[in-house]
Structure formats: structure tokens, C-alpha cells
């Protein structure tokens, strides 16, 4: 990467830097089972990248008007927390890429569909909290992904134009959000396959994506 080129990095969190999408899917299926309801194959996998309010609406619609959403939410939240406490794996190449970014002296941020408390907790638990100049959570912006708001706010906080930012995402919804913000998008699909229609680079892992984008 040319020394004169400024590039600000903005990362999604869940499924991009940390392997929490799997834990969320497991917790969702377990909560449904605890309620004595039939399995819902593919339901929780389809929620990747969506904010809590959107997910709740999709789940309620799937199961119908009698679905005990409040009870489900309690079971899901506790199950997810229990899984987090067992340890949060990092995605392949995450530490190497963040080390490389720090060595280059490039500013970086997180733009996540998680709420602030949840995002901060996960960053602390994985030792990543000090790696970023700022964290934009879903409760910091008016419109969640796929609206461009999270990435635009992250760029604003970094003092960067969106067009010089490189965004890393795993989901189609997140990639669309970053694309709408005018950023170069690297997509590394996690739980859902993707054709990368909203990405400039579709990669098998973070380091491969960084190479494709000319960062390495």
C-alpha cells in the first residue's frame, strides 16, 4: 500500500472479527427447544447481520401470534451469555490483520449491529477493546444496517471521508450498508454463503481479503 495513501479501516464485529454468530444460532435453537416448539431449520442462520429489533420481528412472524417472544428473549439471552462465558473464538487472521494495521499506523473502528454494552463486553472478553479508536453500536445511530448510518458514523468519528475507508463485513446486509456509505467493501462470509454482490472483494478469510484490497 502506498505510504501516501490514507486508509481508515472499519470492521463489523460478530462473524467478522469474532466467532459469535455460531453461538447466537446455537442459543436461538436451544431457546426454541426449551419452549417445546418444533425446530426452525435455517431461521437463526438467516438473521446474520440484522439488529435485535429486526430479528425479533422475523422470529415472531415465523412462529405466529401466540409465540412467547418475551420468554424466548430471556432464554436466548441467558443461553448466549453462557456460551460467551465459555470463550469467544476469534475469526481466522483477525489478530494478524489487526497487528498489521497497527504497524502501519492506520486508524480503525468497529461498526456493529450489537448494542453498546454487548459490543463492549465482547471486545473486552476477546482482548480487542484497545485495538480500535471508536465503536459504533446499533444504539448510536438512527438506522441500522443495511442503511449506511453505522459506517458513516464510524468514518465521521475517525475524521475520514467514507470513500477512503475500507470496510470488512461477513453478511450481505453489512456489505450493503458499507457499500451504501461509499466505502470499499471486503466481504468474508461466515454462516451464510454469498456471491458478494455488494462487495468489491469476496474472500475466504480476513487476510485474503486484505491482500485483495491491497492492504497487505
What's 42's domain CATH number? 1.10.150
Alpha helices, H only, 126-216: 149-158, 172-180, 206-212
Q: Distance between CA atoms of 110 and 94, rounded to whole angstroms?
A: 13
Which residues sit opposite 202 in a β-bridge? 187
Give the domain extent around 106. Answer: 8-19+89-212
Which of helix, strand or coil describes residue 43?
coil
- Which pLDDT band holds residue 3 (cuts at 50, 70, 90)? very low
User: Three cell numbers at 50?
Assistant: 440484522
pLDDT score of 2: 44
Q: Do 161 and 197 belong to one domain?
A: yes
What sign does the CA torsion over 88, 94, 95, 99 have? Answer: negative
Same-domain status, 12 and 94: yes
Q: What is the pLDDT of residues 69-128, one digit of tens each?
A: 999 999 999 999 999 999 999 999 999 999 999 999 999 999 999 999 999 999 999 999
pLDDT digits (tens, 9 = 90+) for 145-162: 999 999 999 999 999 999
Amino acid at each position: 500500500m502506498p505510504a501516501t495513501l490514507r486508509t481508515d479501516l472499519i470492521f463489523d464485529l460478530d462473524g467478522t472479527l469474532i466467532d459469535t454468530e455460531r453461538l447466537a444460532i446455537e442459543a436461538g435453537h436451544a431457546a426454541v427447544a426449551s419452549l417445546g416448539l418444533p425446530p426452525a431449520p435455517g431461521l437463526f442462520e438467516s438473521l446474520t447481520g440484522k439488529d435485535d429489533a429486526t430479528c425479533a420481528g422475523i422470529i415472531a412472524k415465523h412462529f405466529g401470534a401466540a409465540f412467547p417472544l418475551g420468554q424466548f428473549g430471556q432464554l436466548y439471552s441467558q443461553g448466549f451469555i453462557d456460551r460467551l462465558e465459555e470463550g469467544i473464538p476469534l475469526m481466522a487472521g483477525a489478530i494478524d490483520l489487526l497487528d498489521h494495521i497497527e504497524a502501519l499506523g492506520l486508524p480503525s473502528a468497529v461498526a456493529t449491529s450489537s448494542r453498546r454494552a454487548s459490543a463492549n463486553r465482547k471486545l473486552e472478553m476477546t482482548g480487542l477493546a484497545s485495538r480500535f479508536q471508536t465503536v459504533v453500536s446499533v444504539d448510536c445511530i438512527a438506522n441500522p444496517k443495511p442503511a449506511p448510518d453505522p459506517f458513516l458514523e464510524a468514518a465521521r468519528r475517525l475524521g475520514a471521508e467514507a470513500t477512503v475507508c475500507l470496510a470488512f463485513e461477513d453478511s450481505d446486509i453489512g456489505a450493503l450498508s458499507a457499500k451504501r456509505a461509499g466505502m470499499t467493501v471486503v466481504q468474508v462470509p461466515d454462516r451464510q454463503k454469498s456471491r458478494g454482490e455488494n462487495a468489491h472483494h469476496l474472500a475466504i478469510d480476513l487476510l485474503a481479503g486484505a491482500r485483495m484490497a491491497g492492504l497487505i
